[in-house]
Structure 1
Amino acid sequence: MKSLMRLFRSEPNIAEPLYAEVVAKARSPHWYVAGRVPDTMEGRFSVLATLLALTDLRLETGGDEARKASVGLAEAFVHDMDSQLRQDGVGDPVMGKRVGSLVGALGGRLGAWRKATGGEESWEAVAGRSLYRENIPSDESLAHSVDELKRYWHALQGRSDEALIGGVLP
């Protein structure tokens, strides 16, 4: 009976506090005011996916618990997107396709930010695609967003795995 109970009990996601903090960072008004990212569902998704990609890249360089949290961060994202889409009235027949598309968008950003953080592509070019889909409102807004993303990235580098997993973000 105990083994049957374990089958239906889910382990808590260690990345939930981290995911909640990344969501809070993505809601910061400066992205939409000074950065002029469109304050729409798509614009908010772009900021969230961008911050998640940078956070995940940092987790990939950490120890075993950080890499485990990387998986948990992706799971929290999928769960959140599923919930959001259901609230918006998306039904089961198309849910998998819609969530898969959002996960693909996150994966694309991960690859792009890997290039930017590795020096293979400019932060400006990647931010232009990641946040604005190349419809950059002004040089000033792009500069603001790039500065904030660099600040976030460098601060992530200074966080211990334990602090990061616990949701202590810059």
Structure 2
Amino acid sequence: MGLLGLFTRRPHERAGFALYGAAVGAARQPVYFARLGVPDTLDGRFDLVSFHVALLINRLRHDSDPEGPKLAQAVFDAMFADMDVNLREMGVGDLVVGKRVKKMWEAFHGRAAAYEAGFESGDWAALAEALSRNVWRGEAPEGAPAELAAQGGRMRETLASQPLAALLKGEVHFPPAPPEAAAA
């Protein structure tokens, strides 16, 4: 690789970061923490981001256009580049960052597979159980995992309805989490 290769962007890199940023923004909606009781911790935030990103990547991976899976990879790459930067900013040493990112990568893949299995089979109880196990570490407020699973269904439908052309530009819309009044 020549010197210029160091300065070239990978295909879809900019769009991948934009889509990842949108997923992070959607995962930070206060209702998840205030009403659903998602722990406002590094783990809790990681799990919500993972859920949103997994849904986005799933949508892109299953697109009939060959650019969809390439964009899915760009979103994944953006997520773990961000995780690396965040760990370094938190003061994690260079020798440990790689190991921590690898653990996060493995955790993400396990969660994404469990969520996809629940969606693909239509087994909402299994999806809620996976969310309870991962997001709340098995100690979820009553009804919260089922509500987050239903929100995931809404997100999945919304993502499926968005054209790949917009996603390739880094434009995505996540539905807002239902406000407290809607749950009553």
- How many residues align structurally? 167
| Letter of the structure 2 residue corresponding to residue 4 of structure 1 | G
Residue segments in structure 2 that go unaligned for 5+ positions in a row? 175-184
By how many angstroms is 1:5 displaced?
Answer: 3.6
The alpha-carbon deviation at position 142 of structure 1 amounts to 2.4
Is it true that 1:138 corresponds to 2:139 in the alignment? no
The higher-RCO structure (CA 8 Å, 6+ apart) is 1
Residue 33 of structure 1 and its aligned partner are, at CA, apart by 1.4
Q: Give the distance between the partners of 2:48 and 2:8, measured in 1 at CA.
A: 30
Partner amino acid, structure 2, of 1:79: A
**Which residue of the partner structure matches residue 4 of structure 2?**
6
**Does the 8 Å contact 1:34/1:144 carry over to 2?**
no
Letter in 2 for 1:119: S
Alignment partners' CA distance in 1, 2:111 and 2:122: 14
Q: What secondary structure is seen at the aligned counterpart in 2 of 1:118?
A: helix
Q: 1:68 aligns with which of 56, 59, 70?
A: 70
Q: CA RMSD in A?
A: 1.6
- State the identity %: 29
| Whole-angstrom distance in 2 between the partners of 1:112 and 1:69 | 22
Q: TM-score, normalised by structure 1?
A: 0.90
Match of 2:178 in 1: none
Q: Aligned equivalents of 1:33 and 1:144: distance in 2?
A: 14
Q: 2:86 & 2:101 partners in 1: Cα distance?
A: 10
Residue 151, structure 1, aligned to residue 145, structure 2: no
Q: Give, in angstroms, the shift of residue 168 of structure 1.
A: 1.5
Displacement of 1:164 in angstroms is: 2.8
Q: Which has the larger displacement, 159-168 or 81-90?
A: 159-168
Gaps of at least 5 residues in structure 1 are none
In 1, Cα distance between the equivalents of 2:56 and 2:108? 12
Please name the residue that 1:44 is paired with.
Answer: 45
Residue aligning to 2:29: 28
